[in-house]
Chains A and B, each alone.
Chain A
Amino acid sequence: MAETKTKTVRFEISRQDTPDSAPYTETFELDYRPNMNVISALMEIRRNPVTVDGKTTTPIAWDMNCLEEVCGACSMVINGKPRQSCTALIDQLEQPIRLSPMRTFPVVRDLQVDRSRMFDSLKKVKAWIPIDGTYNLGPGPRMPEKKRQWAYELSKCMTCGVCLEACPNVNSSSSFIGPSALSQVRLFNAHPTGEMNRSDRLNAIMGDGGLANCGNSQNCVQSCPKGIPLTTSIAALNRDTTLQSFRNFFGSDQV
Protein backbone atom coordinates (compact mmCIF):
# COMPACT_ATOMS: atom_id res chain seq x y z
CA MET A 1 0.00 0.00 0.00
CA ALA A 2 2.97 2.29 0.54
CA GLU A 3 3.62 2.55 -3.16
CA THR A 4 0.03 3.45 -4.11
CA LYS A 5 0.26 6.35 -1.64
CA THR A 6 2.62 8.21 -3.95
CA LYS A 7 0.38 7.72 -7.00
CA THR A 8 -1.64 10.74 -7.98
CA VAL A 9 -4.53 11.49 -10.29
CA ARG A 10 -4.51 14.61 -12.43
CA PHE A 11 -7.66 16.44 -13.54
CA GLU A 12 -8.05 19.19 -16.10
CA ILE A 13 -11.48 20.64 -15.50
CA SER A 14 -13.28 23.14 -17.68
CA ARG A 15 -14.97 25.70 -15.46
CA GLN A 16 -17.47 28.45 -16.01
CA ASP A 17 -18.75 30.78 -13.31
CA THR A 18 -22.04 31.90 -14.85
CA PRO A 19 -24.13 30.76 -17.84
CA ASP A 20 -22.75 33.63 -19.94
CA SER A 21 -19.15 33.93 -18.77
CA ALA A 22 -16.18 32.51 -20.65
CA PRO A 23 -14.99 29.01 -19.72
CA TYR A 24 -11.51 28.48 -18.32
CA THR A 25 -9.50 25.42 -17.28
CA GLU A 26 -8.16 24.53 -13.85
CA THR A 27 -5.87 21.63 -13.05
CA PHE A 28 -6.07 19.57 -9.88
CA GLU A 29 -3.95 16.75 -8.53
CA LEU A 30 -5.24 14.25 -6.00
CA ASP A 31 -3.80 11.29 -4.16
CA TYR A 32 -4.84 8.06 -5.76
CA ARG A 33 -7.17 5.78 -3.86
CA PRO A 34 -8.30 2.37 -5.12
CA ASN A 35 -11.74 2.20 -6.78
CA MET A 36 -12.02 5.94 -7.24
CA ASN A 37 -14.52 7.27 -9.74
CA VAL A 38 -14.86 10.75 -11.20
CA ILE A 39 -17.54 11.72 -8.67
CA SER A 40 -15.51 10.67 -5.64
CA ALA A 41 -12.61 12.64 -7.07
CA LEU A 42 -14.84 15.71 -7.54
CA MET A 43 -16.01 15.32 -3.92
CA GLU A 44 -12.36 15.20 -2.86
CA ILE A 45 -11.69 18.44 -4.76
CA ARG A 46 -14.76 19.99 -3.15
CA ARG A 47 -13.30 19.24 0.28
CA ASN A 48 -10.05 20.94 -0.60
CA PRO A 49 -10.45 23.14 -3.70
CA VAL A 50 -6.80 23.92 -4.33
CA THR A 51 -5.37 23.79 -7.85
CA VAL A 52 -2.08 22.19 -8.79
CA ASP A 53 -0.46 25.65 -8.60
CA GLY A 54 -1.54 25.93 -4.96
CA LYS A 55 -4.26 28.48 -5.67
CA THR A 56 -7.42 28.14 -3.58
CA THR A 57 -10.44 28.22 -5.81
CA THR A 58 -14.20 27.73 -5.58
CA PRO A 59 -15.55 24.17 -5.30
CA ILE A 60 -16.62 22.67 -8.61
CA ALA A 61 -20.36 22.55 -9.35
CA TRP A 62 -21.80 19.39 -10.93
CA ASP A 63 -25.03 17.44 -10.87
CA MET A 64 -25.45 14.00 -9.39
CA ASN A 65 -28.15 11.92 -7.83
CA CYS A 66 -28.41 8.13 -7.94
CA LEU A 67 -24.68 7.28 -8.29
CA GLU A 68 -25.53 4.03 -10.09
CA GLU A 69 -26.15 5.13 -13.69
CA VAL A 70 -29.93 5.16 -13.64
CA CYS A 71 -30.80 8.84 -13.17
CA GLY A 72 -28.67 10.44 -15.88
CA ALA A 73 -27.97 13.59 -13.88
CA CYS A 74 -24.19 13.33 -13.63
CA SER A 75 -23.48 13.20 -17.38
CA MET A 76 -20.47 15.21 -18.52
CA VAL A 77 -17.77 15.01 -21.16
CA ILE A 78 -14.94 12.87 -19.80
CA ASN A 79 -11.80 12.67 -21.97
CA GLY A 80 -13.85 13.81 -24.94
CA LYS A 81 -16.70 11.33 -24.52
CA PRO A 82 -20.05 12.21 -22.99
CA ARG A 83 -20.89 9.71 -20.22
CA GLN A 84 -21.97 9.42 -16.61
CA SER A 85 -19.33 10.47 -14.11
CA CYS A 86 -20.60 7.96 -11.51
CA THR A 87 -19.53 4.98 -13.63
CA ALA A 88 -16.34 6.59 -14.93
CA LEU A 89 -13.72 4.68 -12.96
CA ILE A 90 -10.36 6.37 -12.54
CA ASP A 91 -8.52 3.08 -13.12
CA GLN A 92 -10.00 2.89 -16.61
CA LEU A 93 -9.30 6.47 -17.64
CA GLU A 94 -6.31 7.93 -19.38
CA GLN A 95 -4.61 10.77 -17.51
CA PRO A 96 -4.84 13.70 -17.23
CA ILE A 97 -8.58 13.24 -16.95
CA ARG A 98 -10.27 16.05 -18.85
CA LEU A 99 -13.73 17.04 -17.64
CA SER A 100 -16.03 19.48 -19.38
CA PRO A 101 -19.78 20.09 -19.42
CA MET A 102 -22.01 18.80 -22.24
CA ARG A 103 -22.03 22.07 -24.17
CA THR A 104 -24.95 21.04 -26.36
CA PHE A 105 -26.97 22.17 -23.36
CA PRO A 106 -26.88 25.58 -21.68
CA VAL A 107 -24.17 25.50 -19.01
CA VAL A 108 -25.44 26.55 -15.57
CA ARG A 109 -22.08 26.49 -13.85
CA ASP A 110 -18.86 24.46 -14.26
CA LEU A 111 -19.95 20.92 -15.16
CA GLN A 112 -23.62 21.52 -14.49
CA VAL A 113 -25.95 21.82 -17.49
CA ASP A 114 -29.63 22.54 -17.97
CA ARG A 115 -31.32 19.57 -19.67
CA SER A 116 -34.79 21.20 -19.71
CA ARG A 117 -35.02 20.93 -23.49
CA MET A 118 -35.10 17.13 -23.18
CA PHE A 119 -38.02 17.22 -20.78
CA ASP A 120 -39.80 19.75 -22.99
CA SER A 121 -39.32 17.36 -25.91
CA LEU A 122 -40.90 14.51 -23.95
CA LYS A 123 -43.92 16.75 -23.39
CA LYS A 124 -43.95 17.71 -27.06
CA VAL A 125 -44.08 14.10 -28.23
CA LYS A 126 -46.58 13.10 -25.50
CA ALA A 127 -44.31 10.47 -24.00
CA TRP A 128 -46.90 9.11 -21.58
CA ILE A 129 -50.02 6.97 -21.61
CA PRO A 130 -53.23 8.94 -21.01
CA ILE A 131 -55.45 6.87 -18.71
CA ASP A 132 -57.47 9.57 -17.01
CA GLY A 133 -61.22 9.63 -17.64
CA THR A 134 -64.41 10.83 -16.02
CA TYR A 135 -65.24 7.26 -15.02
CA ASN A 136 -63.35 4.07 -14.36
CA LEU A 137 -62.15 2.85 -17.74
CA GLY A 138 -61.39 -0.62 -16.42
CA PRO A 139 -58.24 -2.63 -17.10
CA GLY A 140 -56.45 -2.00 -20.37
CA PRO A 141 -55.42 -4.64 -22.91
CA ARG A 142 -52.67 -6.99 -21.75
CA MET A 143 -49.15 -6.76 -23.03
CA PRO A 144 -47.51 -10.00 -24.14
CA GLU A 145 -44.55 -10.85 -21.91
CA LYS A 146 -42.23 -11.14 -24.88
CA LYS A 147 -43.11 -7.61 -25.96
CA ARG A 148 -42.73 -6.32 -22.42
CA GLN A 149 -39.19 -7.65 -22.27
CA TRP A 150 -38.40 -5.94 -25.58
CA ALA A 151 -40.03 -2.68 -24.48
CA TYR A 152 -38.08 -2.76 -21.22
CA GLU A 153 -34.87 -2.07 -23.15
CA LEU A 154 -36.37 1.12 -24.57
CA SER A 155 -37.66 2.13 -21.14
CA LYS A 156 -34.10 2.21 -19.77
CA CYS A 157 -33.66 5.73 -21.17
CA MET A 158 -32.72 8.07 -18.32
CA THR A 159 -32.82 11.31 -20.33
CA CYS A 160 -29.12 11.74 -19.59
CA GLY A 161 -28.40 13.76 -22.73
CA VAL A 162 -25.44 11.74 -24.01
CA CYS A 163 -27.17 11.01 -27.34
CA LEU A 164 -27.92 14.70 -27.86
CA GLU A 165 -24.33 15.61 -27.07
CA ALA A 166 -23.12 13.00 -29.60
CA CYS A 167 -25.55 14.00 -32.36
CA PRO A 168 -24.10 16.40 -34.97
CA ASN A 169 -27.61 17.61 -35.81
CA VAL A 170 -28.45 18.72 -32.27
CA ASN A 171 -26.91 22.17 -31.95
CA SER A 172 -27.72 25.82 -31.54
CA SER A 173 -28.77 26.25 -35.18
CA SER A 174 -31.23 23.34 -35.16
CA SER A 175 -34.40 22.63 -33.20
CA PHE A 176 -33.95 18.82 -33.38
CA ILE A 177 -35.42 17.12 -30.32
CA GLY A 178 -32.81 14.36 -30.58
CA PRO A 179 -32.84 10.56 -30.47
CA SER A 180 -33.99 9.98 -26.88
CA ALA A 181 -37.45 11.56 -27.19
CA LEU A 182 -37.96 9.81 -30.54
CA SER A 183 -37.22 6.43 -29.03
CA GLN A 184 -39.74 7.15 -26.28
CA VAL A 185 -42.39 7.60 -28.97
CA ARG A 186 -41.63 4.10 -30.17
CA LEU A 187 -41.85 2.81 -26.60
CA PHE A 188 -45.23 4.37 -25.85
CA ASN A 189 -46.62 3.50 -29.29
CA ALA A 190 -45.72 -0.12 -28.61
CA HIS A 191 -47.74 -0.22 -25.40
CA PRO A 192 -51.24 -1.71 -25.90
CA THR A 193 -52.91 1.26 -24.19
CA GLY A 194 -50.42 3.83 -25.44
CA GLU A 195 -51.06 2.62 -28.97
CA MET A 196 -54.52 4.21 -28.77
CA ASN A 197 -52.81 7.64 -29.09
CA ARG A 198 -50.31 6.49 -31.67
CA SER A 199 -51.15 9.07 -34.34
CA ASP A 200 -50.89 11.97 -31.86
CA ARG A 201 -47.28 11.04 -31.14
CA LEU A 202 -46.42 10.34 -34.78
CA ASN A 203 -47.89 13.66 -35.87
CA ALA A 204 -45.93 15.39 -33.10
CA ILE A 205 -42.60 14.00 -34.36
CA MET A 206 -43.56 14.90 -37.93
CA GLY A 207 -43.56 18.54 -36.84
CA ASP A 208 -40.62 20.96 -36.98
CA GLY A 209 -37.59 19.84 -35.02
CA GLY A 210 -38.83 16.27 -35.21
CA LEU A 211 -37.84 12.97 -36.73
CA ALA A 212 -36.90 14.31 -40.17
CA ASN A 213 -33.89 16.11 -38.67
CA CYS A 214 -32.04 12.84 -38.17
CA GLY A 215 -28.99 12.73 -40.44
CA ASN A 216 -28.12 9.07 -39.76
CA SER A 217 -24.69 9.69 -38.30
CA GLN A 218 -25.67 6.98 -35.79
CA ASN A 219 -23.43 8.46 -33.09
CA CYS A 220 -26.33 8.15 -30.66
CA VAL A 221 -26.57 4.38 -30.72
CA GLN A 222 -22.80 4.09 -30.34
CA SER A 223 -22.77 6.45 -27.36
CA CYS A 224 -25.91 5.47 -25.41
CA PRO A 225 -24.78 4.25 -21.96
CA LYS A 226 -27.87 2.03 -21.75
CA GLY A 227 -27.36 0.41 -25.14
CA ILE A 228 -30.80 1.49 -26.34
CA PRO A 229 -31.27 0.66 -30.06
CA LEU A 230 -31.87 4.34 -30.88
CA THR A 231 -31.22 4.14 -34.61
CA THR A 232 -33.50 1.11 -34.92
CA SER A 233 -36.18 3.16 -33.16
CA ILE A 234 -35.59 6.06 -35.56
CA ALA A 235 -35.77 3.82 -38.63
CA ALA A 236 -38.92 2.13 -37.29
CA LEU A 237 -40.47 5.55 -36.73
CA ASN A 238 -39.45 6.57 -40.24
CA ARG A 239 -41.55 3.67 -41.48
CA ASP A 240 -44.45 4.53 -39.15
CA THR A 241 -44.44 8.18 -40.17
CA THR A 242 -44.28 7.25 -43.87
CA LEU A 243 -47.52 5.30 -43.41
CA GLN A 244 -48.97 8.00 -41.14
CA SER A 245 -48.30 10.67 -43.76
CA PHE A 246 -50.20 8.57 -46.33
CA ARG A 247 -53.07 8.23 -43.85
CA ASN A 248 -53.03 11.97 -43.23
CA PHE A 249 -52.87 12.86 -46.89
CA PHE A 250 -55.34 10.38 -48.35
CA GLY A 251 -57.44 10.68 -45.24
CA SER A 252 -58.83 7.19 -44.96
CA ASP A 253 -58.86 7.30 -41.18
CA GLN A 254 -57.37 9.77 -38.76
CA VAL A 255 -56.68 7.42 -35.85
Chain B
Amino acid sequence: MAQNREFGNRRLHSLLGVVPIGLFLIFHLTVNFMATKGAETFNAAVHLIEFTPIKIVVEFVVIYLPLIFHAVYGIYIAFTAKNNLGRFSFFRNWMFFLQRISGIITLIFLIWHVYTTRIQAALGAEVNFDMMATIFSSPFMIAFYIVGLISTVFHFANGLWSFSVSWGLTVSPKSQKIMTYITLVVFLVLSYIGVRAIFAFV
Protein backbone atom coordinates (compact mmCIF):
# COMPACT_ATOMS: atom_id res chain seq x y z
CA MET B 1 0.00 0.00 0.00
CA ALA B 2 3.03 2.28 0.37
CA GLN B 3 2.97 3.53 -3.21
CA ASN B 4 -0.81 3.89 -3.28
CA ARG B 5 -0.80 7.53 -2.25
CA GLU B 6 -3.04 8.79 -5.03
CA PHE B 7 -6.38 8.14 -3.34
CA GLY B 8 -5.28 9.86 -0.13
CA ASN B 9 -3.71 12.77 -1.99
CA ARG B 10 -6.76 13.39 -4.14
CA ARG B 11 -9.11 13.24 -1.17
CA LEU B 12 -6.82 15.55 0.84
CA HIS B 13 -6.71 17.93 -2.12
CA SER B 14 -10.50 17.96 -2.27
CA LEU B 15 -10.91 18.39 1.49
CA LEU B 16 -8.33 21.17 1.86
CA GLY B 17 -10.03 23.17 -0.88
CA VAL B 18 -13.14 23.45 1.29
CA VAL B 19 -11.69 23.17 4.81
CA PRO B 20 -9.73 25.32 5.56
CA ILE B 21 -9.10 27.18 2.27
CA GLY B 22 -12.75 27.67 1.32
CA LEU B 23 -13.72 28.73 4.81
CA PHE B 24 -10.80 31.16 4.90
CA LEU B 25 -11.92 32.59 1.55
CA ILE B 26 -15.40 33.28 2.92
CA PHE B 27 -13.92 34.83 6.06
CA HIS B 28 -11.52 36.96 3.98
CA LEU B 29 -14.26 38.22 1.66
CA THR B 30 -16.45 39.02 4.66
CA VAL B 31 -13.72 41.15 6.21
CA ASN B 32 -13.13 42.87 2.85
CA PHE B 33 -16.82 43.71 2.69
CA MET B 34 -16.38 45.85 5.84
CA ALA B 35 -14.69 48.35 3.52
CA THR B 36 -18.11 49.18 2.10
CA LYS B 37 -18.94 50.60 5.55
CA GLY B 38 -15.98 52.96 5.46
CA ALA B 39 -12.25 53.03 6.12
CA GLU B 40 -12.58 52.99 9.93
CA THR B 41 -14.74 49.86 9.99
CA PHE B 42 -12.31 48.05 7.68
CA ASN B 43 -9.25 49.13 9.65
CA ALA B 44 -10.91 48.06 12.92
CA ALA B 45 -11.62 44.60 11.47
CA VAL B 46 -8.04 44.24 10.19
CA HIS B 47 -6.77 45.41 13.57
CA LEU B 48 -8.86 42.76 15.31
CA ILE B 49 -7.40 39.98 13.16
CA GLU B 50 -3.89 41.15 14.01
CA PHE B 51 -4.57 40.08 17.60
CA THR B 52 -5.03 36.42 16.62
CA PRO B 53 -3.06 34.34 19.13
CA ILE B 54 0.04 32.62 17.67
CA LYS B 55 -0.91 34.31 14.41
CA ILE B 56 2.05 33.08 12.35
CA VAL B 57 1.35 29.44 13.31
CA VAL B 58 -2.35 29.82 12.50
CA GLU B 59 -1.44 31.39 9.17
CA PHE B 60 0.81 28.49 8.26
CA VAL B 61 -1.50 25.71 9.42
CA VAL B 62 -4.75 27.20 8.16
CA ILE B 63 -3.61 29.02 5.05
CA TYR B 64 -0.09 28.58 3.67
CA LEU B 65 0.51 24.84 4.01
CA PRO B 66 -2.96 23.74 2.81
CA LEU B 67 -2.78 26.26 -0.03
CA ILE B 68 0.67 25.14 -1.15
CA PHE B 69 -0.37 21.48 -1.17
CA HIS B 70 -3.62 22.30 -2.97
CA ALA B 71 -1.77 24.41 -5.55
CA VAL B 72 1.09 22.01 -6.24
CA TYR B 73 -1.10 18.93 -6.47
CA GLY B 74 -3.69 20.94 -8.42
CA ILE B 75 -1.11 21.87 -11.06
CA TYR B 76 -0.27 18.19 -11.38
CA ILE B 77 -3.96 17.32 -11.82
CA ALA B 78 -4.53 20.14 -14.31
CA PHE B 79 -1.63 19.07 -16.48
CA THR B 80 -2.48 15.36 -16.54
CA ALA B 81 -5.83 16.15 -18.18
CA LYS B 82 -6.15 16.16 -21.95
CA ASN B 83 -9.04 18.53 -22.56
CA ASN B 84 -11.42 17.57 -25.34
CA LEU B 85 -14.01 20.35 -25.42
CA GLY B 86 -13.86 20.42 -29.20
CA ARG B 87 -15.35 16.94 -29.39
CA PHE B 88 -17.38 16.88 -26.18
CA SER B 89 -18.88 20.28 -25.45
CA PHE B 90 -21.07 19.14 -22.56
CA PHE B 91 -21.76 21.48 -19.63
CA ARG B 92 -19.78 19.41 -17.12
CA ASN B 93 -16.85 19.09 -19.49
CA TRP B 94 -16.80 22.91 -19.66
CA MET B 95 -16.81 23.05 -15.88
CA PHE B 96 -13.98 20.49 -15.82
CA PHE B 97 -11.95 22.72 -18.16
CA LEU B 98 -12.81 25.97 -16.37
CA GLN B 99 -11.95 24.42 -13.00
CA ARG B 100 -8.43 23.77 -14.23
CA ILE B 101 -8.04 27.15 -15.97
CA SER B 102 -9.44 29.06 -12.97
CA GLY B 103 -7.09 27.14 -10.69
CA ILE B 104 -4.07 28.36 -12.66
CA ILE B 105 -5.38 31.96 -12.88
CA THR B 106 -6.15 31.93 -9.15
CA LEU B 107 -2.64 30.73 -8.35
CA ILE B 108 -1.05 33.53 -10.40
CA PHE B 109 -3.39 36.05 -8.78
CA LEU B 110 -2.68 34.77 -5.28
CA ILE B 111 1.10 34.89 -5.70
CA TRP B 112 0.82 38.55 -6.70
CA HIS B 113 -1.79 39.27 -4.02
CA VAL B 114 0.26 37.71 -1.22
CA TYR B 115 3.40 39.48 -2.43
CA THR B 116 1.79 42.93 -2.44
CA THR B 117 0.01 42.51 0.89
CA ARG B 118 1.27 39.86 3.31
CA ILE B 119 4.92 39.93 2.26
CA GLN B 120 4.95 43.74 2.24
CA ALA B 121 3.45 43.59 5.74
CA ALA B 122 6.25 41.26 6.84
CA LEU B 123 8.73 43.79 5.42
CA GLY B 124 7.23 46.51 7.56
CA ALA B 125 4.29 47.96 5.60
CA GLU B 126 1.03 48.47 7.43
CA VAL B 127 -2.02 46.61 6.13
CA ASN B 128 -4.96 49.00 6.14
CA PHE B 129 -7.52 50.73 3.95
CA ASP B 130 -4.91 53.07 2.46
CA MET B 131 -2.71 50.16 1.35
CA MET B 132 -5.55 48.70 -0.69
CA ALA B 133 -6.64 52.13 -1.93
CA THR B 134 -3.10 52.67 -3.27
CA ILE B 135 -3.16 49.32 -5.05
CA PHE B 136 -6.54 50.12 -6.61
CA SER B 137 -5.43 53.55 -7.78
CA SER B 138 -4.40 51.80 -11.01
CA PRO B 139 -7.25 50.71 -13.32
CA PHE B 140 -5.15 47.75 -14.42
CA MET B 141 -5.00 46.51 -10.83
CA ILE B 142 -8.77 46.83 -10.49
CA ALA B 143 -9.22 44.69 -13.60
CA PHE B 144 -6.58 42.22 -12.42
CA TYR B 145 -8.23 41.89 -9.01
CA ILE B 146 -11.69 41.43 -10.51
CA VAL B 147 -10.40 38.65 -12.78
CA GLY B 148 -8.55 37.07 -9.85
CA LEU B 149 -11.57 37.33 -7.58
CA ILE B 150 -14.07 35.88 -10.07
CA SER B 151 -11.65 33.09 -10.90
CA THR B 152 -11.08 32.27 -7.20
CA VAL B 153 -14.77 32.30 -6.37
CA PHE B 154 -15.61 30.17 -9.41
CA HIS B 155 -12.90 27.68 -8.48
CA PHE B 156 -14.29 27.49 -4.95
CA ALA B 157 -17.97 27.19 -5.96
CA ASN B 158 -17.37 24.59 -8.65
CA GLY B 159 -14.90 22.85 -6.37
CA LEU B 160 -17.67 22.60 -3.80
CA TRP B 161 -19.71 20.74 -6.41
CA SER B 162 -16.95 18.24 -7.16
CA PHE B 163 -16.16 17.95 -3.44
CA SER B 164 -19.70 16.74 -2.87
CA VAL B 165 -19.31 14.16 -5.63
CA SER B 166 -15.79 13.09 -4.66
CA TRP B 167 -16.79 12.36 -1.09
CA GLY B 168 -19.98 10.61 -2.12
CA LEU B 169 -22.40 13.18 -0.71
CA THR B 170 -24.31 13.77 -3.96
CA VAL B 171 -24.71 10.44 -5.74
CA SER B 172 -27.92 10.65 -7.75
CA PRO B 173 -28.04 12.77 -10.92
CA LYS B 174 -30.85 14.79 -9.34
CA SER B 175 -28.85 15.67 -6.23
CA GLN B 176 -25.89 16.60 -8.41
CA LYS B 177 -28.11 18.88 -10.48
CA ILE B 178 -29.50 20.62 -7.41
CA MET B 179 -25.93 21.02 -6.15
CA THR B 180 -25.11 22.74 -9.46
CA TYR B 181 -27.77 25.36 -8.68
CA ILE B 182 -26.63 25.72 -5.07
CA THR B 183 -23.01 26.25 -6.10
CA LEU B 184 -24.15 28.72 -8.77
CA VAL B 185 -25.79 30.77 -6.01
CA VAL B 186 -22.59 30.49 -3.93
CA PHE B 187 -20.64 31.77 -6.93
CA LEU B 188 -22.97 34.72 -7.52
CA VAL B 189 -23.21 35.73 -3.85
CA LEU B 190 -19.46 35.55 -3.18
CA SER B 191 -18.70 37.36 -6.46
CA TYR B 192 -21.09 40.15 -5.45
CA ILE B 193 -19.50 40.45 -1.99
CA GLY B 194 -16.00 40.46 -3.47
CA VAL B 195 -16.63 42.96 -6.27
CA ARG B 196 -18.51 45.34 -3.95
CA ALA B 197 -15.50 45.24 -1.62
CA ILE B 198 -13.05 46.00 -4.45
CA PHE B 199 -15.02 49.07 -5.50
CA ALA B 200 -15.20 50.25 -1.89
CA PHE B 201 -11.47 50.96 -2.11
CA VAL B 202 -11.68 52.83 -5.41
Contact = CB atoms under 8 A, between A and B. Distances in A.
A127 to B, nearest CB: 19
Given A173-B80, A206-B4, A239 B168 contact: yes
B171 A232 contact: yes
Contacts of B92: 216-219
Contact of A80 (B7, B87, B96): B87
B88 A241 contact: no
B90 interface: yes
Contact of B81 (A81, A169, A209, A245): A169
Interface in A208-239: 208-219, 222-223, 229, 231-232, 234-239
B82 A171 contact: yes
Given A218-B92, A222-B88, A231 B4 contact: no
Contacts of A245: 7, 11
A168 B4 contact: no
B81 A215 contact: yes
Nearest to A210: B7
A166 B88 contact: yes
B171 A236 contact: yes
A174 interface: yes
Given A206-B7, A216-B162, A216-B166, 4 more contacts: A213-B10, A217-B88, A218-B92, A231-B165
B171 A215 contact: no
B10 A216 contact: no
Contact of B168 (A207, A215, A235): A235
Contacts of A234: 165
A226 B79 CA distance: 31
A232 B169 CA distance: 11
Interface in B144-202: 161-162, 165-173, 176
A215 B100 CA distance: 10
A215 B88 contact: no
B167 A242 contact: yes
Contacts of B77: 215
Contacts of B52: none
A94 interface: no
A68 interface: no
Contacts, number: 108
Contact of B176 (A173, A223, A235): A235
Interface string A60-99: 0000000000000000000011000000000000000000
B6 interface: yes
Contacts of A214: 166
A238 B161 CA distance: 14
A206 B7 CA distance: 6
Contacts of B134: none
8 contacts: A166-B87, A208-B3, A215-B96, A216-B166, A219-B84, A231-B173, A235-B168, A236-B168
B83 interface: yes
Nearest to A172: B82
A208 B5 CA distance: 7
Contacts of B162: 215-216
A120 interface: no
A31 interface: no
Interface in A126-172: 166, 168-169, 171
A255 to B, nearest CB: 17
B164 to A, nearest CB: 9
B190 to A, nearest CB: 21
Contact of A232 (B161, B167, B173): B173
Given A212-B10, A232-B173, A218 B80 contact: no
A232 B172 contact: yes
B93 interface: yes
A240 interface: yes
A242 B77 CA distance: 20
A198 to B, nearest CB: 15
